[in-house]
Amino acid sequence: MAGKRQLMTLTVNGDDYEMLVSPRQTLLDVIRDQVGLTGTKEGCTTGSCGVCTINNDRGEAVLSCLTPALEWQGKSITTIEGLEVNGKLDALQNAFLDYGAVQCGFCTPGVLMSAKAVINAFDHPGEEDINDGMAGVLCRCTGHIKVKEAIRNVADSSNETQRERRDDGQ
Amino acid sequence: MLLPEHEFSKPASLRDSLTELAEAGGEVKLLAGGTDVVFNMRGRLFRPDVLLSIRDLPELQEVEQLADGAVSLGAGCRLSELERHALLKGYPGLIAGLRAVASRHVRNMATLGGNLNLDTRCWYANQTAEWRAAKGPCLKTGMEVCHAIKSADICVALNASDIAPALLALDASVVLASLNGERTVKLADYYTDDGVQHTVRRPDEIMTRVLLPKNSDRMAYIKETARKGNDFAYATIAASADGHGNQCSRVRIVLGSLTTRPALLLKTAAVLVEHGLDDTTIKAAVGEVRDELGALTNLYTPAAYKGRIARALVREALQQLREQ
Q: What is the pLDDT of residues B90-118, one digit of tens each?
A: 999 999 999 999 999 999 999 999 999 99
A14 & A76 share domain: yes
Put simply, the answer to whether A68 touches B31 (Cβ < 8 Å) is yes
Chain A residue with minimum CA distance to B55:
A71
B231 & B96 share domain: no
Question: Which residue range is the domain that position B177 belongs to?
Answer: 58-117+158-212
Put simply, the answer to whether B34 touches A66 (Cβ < 8 Å) is yes
What does the pLDDT read at residue B142?
A: 84
Q: B8 — contact with chain A (CB < 8 Å)?
A: yes
What does the pLDDT read at residue A157?
A: 52
Chain B partners within 8 Å of A135 (Cβ) = 103-104, 228-230
What average pLDDT does the segment B178-183 reach? 97
CB B303 within 8 A of CB B309: no
Domain holding B111: CATH number? 3.30.465.10
Alpha-carbon distances of B97 from B1, B264, B278, B301, rounded to whole Å: 33, 16, 26, 22
What average pLDDT does the segment B45-59 reach? 96
What does the pLDDT read at residue B69?
A: 87
A25 & A50 share domain: yes
B23 & B62 share domain: no
Listed residue (A127, A117, A137) closest to A57, CA to CA? A117
Between A and B, how many CB-CB pairs are < 8 A?
A: 106
Using 50, 70 and 90 to split pLDDT, how confident is the model at A169?
very low
What does the pLDDT read at residue B116?
A: 98
Put simply, the answer to whether B5 touches A29 (Cβ < 8 Å) is no
What does the pLDDT read at residue B277?
A: 94
Looking at the partner chain, which of A48, A61, A73 has a beta carbon nearest the beta carbon of B230?
A48
* Cα separation, A24 vs B311, whole angstroms: 45
Domain boundary among A82, A113, A144: A82
pLDDT digits (tens, 9 = 90+) for B203-257: 999 999 999 998 889 999 999 999 888 899 999 999 999 999 899 999 999 999 9
* Number of helices and strands in chain B (H, E): 11, 12
The residue among B103, B223, B232 with the most chain A CBs within 10 A of its CB, best to mutate, is B103
Using 50, 70 and 90 to split pLDDT, how confident is the model at B150?
confident
B28 & B74 share domain: no
Looking at the partner chain, which of B38, B49, B99 has a beta carbon nearest the beta carbon of A66?
B38
Domain holding B292: CATH number? 3.30.390.50
The residues, ordered by sequence, that sit 6+ positions from B172 with a Cβ below 8 Å of its Cβ are B187, B210, B211, B212, B213
Using 50, 70 and 90 to split pLDDT, how confident is the model at A158?
very low
Residue at A98 is within a domain: yes
What does the pLDDT read at residue A2?
A: 65
Residue at B73 is within a domain: yes
Residue at A65 is within a domain: yes
Residue at A1 is within a domain: no
B202 & B82 share domain: yes
First vs last C-alpha separation in chain A: 56
Mean pLDDT of chain B: 95
- Looking at the structure of chain A, the number of domains it has is 2
B276 & B202 share domain: no
B83 & B196 share domain: yes
**Alpha helix stretches (DSSP H) within B202-302:** 266-275, 279-293
Percent over 90 (pLDDT), chain B: 89
Instruction: Answer whether residue A170 shows pLDDT above 80.
Output: no
Percent over 90 (pLDDT), chain A: 85
Domain boundary among A57, A82, A107: A82
Q: Cα B146 vs. chain centroid, distance in angstroms?
A: 23
* Cα separation, A58 vs A91, whole angstroms: 19
Q: A136 — contact with chain B (CB < 8 Å)?
A: yes
Residue at B122 is within a domain: no
Q: A42 — contact with chain B (CB < 8 Å)?
A: no
What average pLDDT does the segment A70-91 reach? 97
Instruction: Answer whether residue B24 shows pLDDT above 80.
Output: yes
B204 & B251 share domain: no
* Cα separation, B54 vs A99, whole angstroms: 43
What does the pLDDT read at residue A115?
A: 97
Looking at the partner chain, which of A53, A70, A136 has a beta carbon nearest the beta carbon of B8?
A70
pLDDT digits (tens, 9 = 90+) for A33-74: 999 999 999 999 999 999 999 999 999 999 999 999 999 999
Q: B226 — contact with chain A (CB < 8 Å)?
A: no
Q: What are phi and psi of B27, to 5 degrees?
A: -80, 130
Domain holding A39: CATH number? 3.10.20.30
Residue at B276 is within a domain: yes
Question: Which residue range is the domain that position A70 belongs to?
Answer: 6-82
Percent over 70 (pLDDT), chain B: 100
Looking at the partner chain, which of A53, A68, A132 has a beta carbon nearest the beta carbon of B8?
A68
Q: What share of chain A is helix, strand, coil (3-state, %, to 5)?
A: 45, 15, 40
Residue at B129 is within a domain: no
Residue at B144 is within a domain: no
Instruction: Answer whether residue A166 shows pLDDT above 60.
Output: no
Residue at B112 is within a domain: yes
What average pLDDT does the segment B184-211 reach? 97
- Looking at the structure of chain B, the number of domains it has is 3
Listed residue (B66, B63, B65, B53) closest to B98, CA to CA? B63
Chain B partners within 8 Å of A56 (Cβ) = 108
Residue at B34 is within a domain: yes
B201 & B313 share domain: no
CB B152 within 8 A of CB B189: no
Q: A110 — contact with chain B (CB < 8 Å)?
A: no
Using 50, 70 and 90 to split pLDDT, how confident is the model at B299?
very high
B205 & B247 share domain: no
A25 & A72 share domain: yes
Q: A91 — contact with chain B (CB < 8 Å)?
A: no
A76 & A116 share domain: no
The interface predicted TM-score of the complex, written ipTM, equals 0.94
Q: A78 — contact with chain B (CB < 8 Å)?
A: no
Chain B residue with minimum CA distance to A51:
B105
B49 & B74 share domain: no
CB B252 within 8 A of CB B169: yes
Distance from CA of A119 to the nearest CA of B (A): 14
What does the pLDDT read at residue A49?
A: 95
